A and B are shown apart, each in its own frame.
Chain A
């Protein structure tokens, strides 16, 4: 085929240009460390890189959220520990108040100690976090949850629980509302209340009781009437709602269990003739911890003069003890739930770290240049370029005019 001079030059020059272009491309890859300089180099990988980068960034955000959650929960946990210690101290005081050797003024000074403890409790439940937001007021972070009142404390917050997103489909509760921890405390057994008849003369007390068989509960009111005749104490059980007598002339032994219609309780002490005790469904299934302590203070401050006062004192103390236990239970429950959440956060954290590693590996695979290959390409293309340039030099020097 006949070649024109133009063709000879153009072909040689194009070859050199082509080599220069590939060399330049490889050099860019080596210099930036990226396999793709523009999405056109690998469009599918380019789109995937964007997706993986977003997933990695979301993962990092969750890790940050988890740290925040851990800090908040740890703070709540500490406060609740302090509160449980306080409740246990109050409990100890209640036990010591049951010592028969104490007199009225001893009990009054005990009551004063308890007043201090109650204020301390209110202060603890109004704890704030590092930003000054209250921990236990539900959604209303700027509202102080508890204010002390004459009967205990009033709650001004709400029952909301703050959640935080700690994994792609997991939200963990960051806070618990003051109501749920300190007010939703079971009052007694939570189903029925027992009470000493107002006109009683004896020193017998009735326990709070428990539910032996929920299926047999009737939800009706009952009364236990005591008859003391000739040194023999007997009692009868009357259903005051239906006005029927369930049983009568039951022999009485102090401390033995009385049970009927799914209820179970015991009466201790020495009732007088005509003493009554009532059993009715509770109208207050929950009683706030503050109210319990406040009632305890009132009980201790009531002077004991008659034996009826004594049984009231004993009843009050045993109610307080039971409710304090219920309150402590609630606090410990919450703490254990916090503990579970912290554990879950830890395990999510380690998953998150693994995920992050995977994402980084993915990204590296997609977009990083393989240095070994790139550098060997670079060397090779350099050689090609030099060869092309040399060939051009040689061919362009050949001309018939050199010989004319």
Chain B
């Protein structure tokens, strides 16, 4: 009897063994399957006087061969591998686009500058100009194509994030379901629910492919899963969901949100590591944003620097050049919490100072508000009580916002998309320079005058204050004096060469002290020896002097001095005042105050002297017309070289570019009739004279060993050689100069100039840097993802070596259990034979 039951236990055990082995064999290639083993234990033995007699075998459990540590290591390796793989796949797309030798930016850039050179060679030729417009259009289209590709990648990332979140939610739900099922099953039977556990492991592996998780096993067998910096995803049978959301700063950017109740809170990108989702987020924040900004920086750099030079030129119609490109503007995104009426405007004040970062502009809630402009790449910021801040080449030009409001500024993000051609008419290409020079045929000396060039606001100048209200301007590169005695008033603007700036002490406007110097161009601002700084730099447009078209003569009084005259003034007319001739009849003028009625002004009596720039002191004759009416003139005799004083006259200055009143009454002014120099004291001019500029007209020293630069009205030229007394050189507008290519040569020179990155890189080398950066990152990811992949394989193999099914082993098990079954069956048969023997005893 006991033998039968013992044999039966054996049969059972063998049968279970066979079932388990066949289960292993059929599931050999099921993912996450751990091979199962039958755990046999001997049954309780029966105690007798002659010893304990065994009662067979019990199958206590079927358990899976499973190493927790190895599985956990495998999950970690998998999540990192997935992140690297997805990052590598995305960046590989960028790498291919940028590096293509025929569809990258370089060929289009070279074609464009070839076009510029062709126009420089044949400026009058319409086909050459048309060729330039065509190659410019090609370049613009190439920028658009590249940006389009970037945008496609960006949209792709957004949609991948979205589908990844969906996948995560689905997996989380299934894991929670399994948690509950496992709990139930193990609760009922008290045995490990091996296959359910394997299924949960499979789901957990898939979840780790999507996002990095940390797993905590509970006592009741459920798994709690956390993501990010501790946000719970699955707690027992409860599931939290993720959702796509957008940040209040940038509504176009898909971010990961965590749903609590009916509120979705944002999980910052940097908190989510691991898995494909971590890969997409890392790609977007670390590579894609930078790359698109970098490409945009080239576009905006090219557009602005080309435009700036183009505006200094003259087109086929004799008109000053306009913009060649439509320069892109910074992208401004209002925070969704802002008042809809709040707004700011920003412009690029210096392309050379631009970085590839985005910026945030905000206002705090202090009573005296502080405004902050912060660079988002490293959180370096500038704070000031004035809303107009400049940082890294970006200037805030207007701001209306309430407390605690903010804006995101993306200076270059959309530049490659927005750049376009502003010219379609070949005549509007400004290849010529607007001025030209000539030497009179009556010159007896050997002096030569250079062809002349228009001042660019790129020229660096040194401003030296000679008092709190006056300054001189000197060309920083050549040392030439460009202007003297320019008037400054505290709180006023300083303007030169097309830029305008203010001098502050960091809080508000201030006055510099005697001897303070500032080195300025429109990109770099530095200061020495002063507590004052420079802020609020803006550029006027067009950056060309308003007096540019007024002709000027350089007249040598001797071999060592010269003076400047306007070509349209009446210097000799003035000298005729004291004698007779055209202009004002002598009788109508004063003599020693005898004419108390002053002089009447009729058209014929208009003193037309072109008056220009200067501060207090001498004015050169360029610029506008000055009319003197009424008043008395005293101090003159009949001799032609006198100076005389006008008192109580009304002086009207026409034209020119100055703000404020242009009518002065009761003035005392001095006119030097030989040179036409008209002096108006600063006290009389008041505070509106600050926009005058120029230099003294007479007695400028000349040395043939160190010939000085002459810079007036926005142009600069140089006389060299040995001129003699009476030699005259003229600077005039370049009327009809269609064969002039000076500006085209300067435009062509931009190709190799270091215009970007603080003056260290040209357009091509900046693009080369971008290609190289992406290439380097791609290569780095290729290497690390390969390394991670092989590490993952090792962990998987280690895990497989414990839990994996070996078919040969199972085949051996089959044989084993089969034999055990046969043996037990034999025992049963024997027991039955024995019983038959017993039964047959009675017969």
Which residues of chain B have C-beta atoms less than 8 A from A4's C-beta? 800-801, 803-806
The answer to whether B800 touches A162, judged by C-beta atoms less than 8 angstroms apart, is no
Return B100 CB to nearest CB of chain A, in Å.
9
- Interface: B169 (CB within 8 A): no
Segment with Cβ contacts to B, from A137-145, A231-239, A344-352, A376-384: A137-145
A43 to B782, CA, bound (A): 13
A11 to B444, CA, bound (A): 95
The answer to whether A43 touches B806, judged by C-beta atoms less than 8 angstroms apart, is no
Return B431 CB to nearest CB of chain A, in Å.
10
Return B170 CB to nearest CB of chain A, in Å.
26
Return A353 CB to nearest CB of chain B, in Å.
19
Mark A154-181 against chain B: 1 for CB-CB distance below 8 A, else 0: 0000111111110010010001000100
The answer to whether A163 touches B804, judged by C-beta atoms less than 8 angstroms apart, is no
Mark B429-446 against chain A: 1 for CB-CB distance below 8 A, else 0: 000100011110111100
The answer to whether A158 touches B436, judged by C-beta atoms less than 8 angstroms apart, is yes
Given contact pairs A2-B801, A2-B802, A7-B801, A54 touches B106 in the complex (Cβ within 8 A):
yes
Return B108 CB to nearest CB of chain A, in Å.
12
The answer to whether B451 touches A6, judged by C-beta atoms less than 8 angstroms apart, is no
How extensive is the interface on chain B, given as a class? 35 or more
Segment with Cβ contacts to A, from B680-688, B695-703, B744-752: B744-752
Closest 5 CB pairs of A and B: A4-B804, A141-B739, A43-B775, A39-B775, A139-B737
- Interface: B177 (CB within 8 A): no
Mark B92-116 against chain A: 1 for CB-CB distance below 8 A, else 0: 1001101101001010011001100
Chain B positions near chain A (C-beta within 8 angstroms): 28-29, 92, 95-96, 98-99, 101, 104, 106, 109-110, 113-114, 117, 120-125, 432, 436-439, 441-444, 451, 734-742, 745, 748-749, 751-752, 764-765, 767-769, 771-776, 778-779, 782, 793, 796-797, 800-808, 811-812, 814-815
Mark A18-29 against chain B: 1 for CB-CB distance below 8 A, else 0: 000000000000
- Interface: A51 (CB within 8 A): yes
The answer to whether A131 touches B779, judged by C-beta atoms less than 8 angstroms apart, is no
- Interface: A250 (CB within 8 A): no
The answer to whether A47 touches B804, judged by C-beta atoms less than 8 angstroms apart, is no
Return A235 CB to nearest CB of chain B, in Å.
28
Which residues of chain A have C-beta atoms less than 8 A from B123's C-beta? 141
A57 to B112, CA, bound (A): 11
Which residues of chain A have C-beta atoms less than 8 A from B774's C-beta? 39-40, 43
The answer to whether B444 touches A285, judged by C-beta atoms less than 8 angstroms apart, is yes
Which residues of chain A have C-beta atoms less than 8 A from B740's C-beta? 139, 160, 162
The residue on A at minimum CB distance from B739 is A141
Which residues of chain A have C-beta atoms less than 8 A from B441's C-beta? 179, 183-184, 285-286, 288
A150 to B779, CA, bound (A): 80
Main secondary structure of the interface of B (DSSP, over half): helix
Given contact pairs A159-B438, A400-B812, A139 touches B738 in the complex (Cβ within 8 A):
yes
Residues 13-52 of A at the B interface (beta carbon under 8 Å): 14, 36, 38-44, 46-51
A401 to B451, CA, bound (A): 97
Chain A positions near chain B (C-beta within 8 angstroms): 1-7, 10-11, 14, 36, 38-44, 46-51, 53-54, 57-58, 61, 64-65, 68, 131, 133, 137-143, 158-165, 168, 171, 175, 179, 183-184, 190-191, 282-286, 288, 399-401, 404
The answer to whether A40 touches B95, judged by C-beta atoms less than 8 angstroms apart, is yes
Which residues of chain B have C-beta atoms less than 8 A from A131's C-beta? 122, 124-125
Which residues of chain A have C-beta atoms less than 8 A from B745's C-beta? 163-165, 171
A140 to B438, CA, bound (A): 14
Which residues of chain B have C-beta atoms less than 8 A from A142's C-beta? 124, 736, 738-739
Given contact pairs A141-B739, A161-B451, A165-B748, A6 touches B771 in the complex (Cβ within 8 A):
no
Which residues of chain B have C-beta atoms less than 8 A from A3's C-beta? 800-801, 804, 806
The answer to whether B806 touches A65, judged by C-beta atoms less than 8 angstroms apart, is no
Cβ 8 A contact of A6, one of B92, B106, B804, B815: B804
The residue on A at minimum CB distance from B736 is A140
Q: Given A40-B775, A399-B808, output 12 extra A-B contacts at Cβ < 8 Å.
A: A39-B95, A41-B775, A46-B99, A49-B101, A51-B765, A51-B768, A61-B113, A133-B124, A160-B737, A162-B740, A165-B745, A285-B443
A159 to B310, CA, bound (A): 23
A137 to B436, CA, bound (A): 13
Which residues of chain B have C-beta atoms less than 8 A from A5's C-beta? 28-29, 804-808
Which residues of chain A have C-beta atoms less than 8 A from B782's C-beta? 40
The answer to whether A143 touches B807, judged by C-beta atoms less than 8 angstroms apart, is no
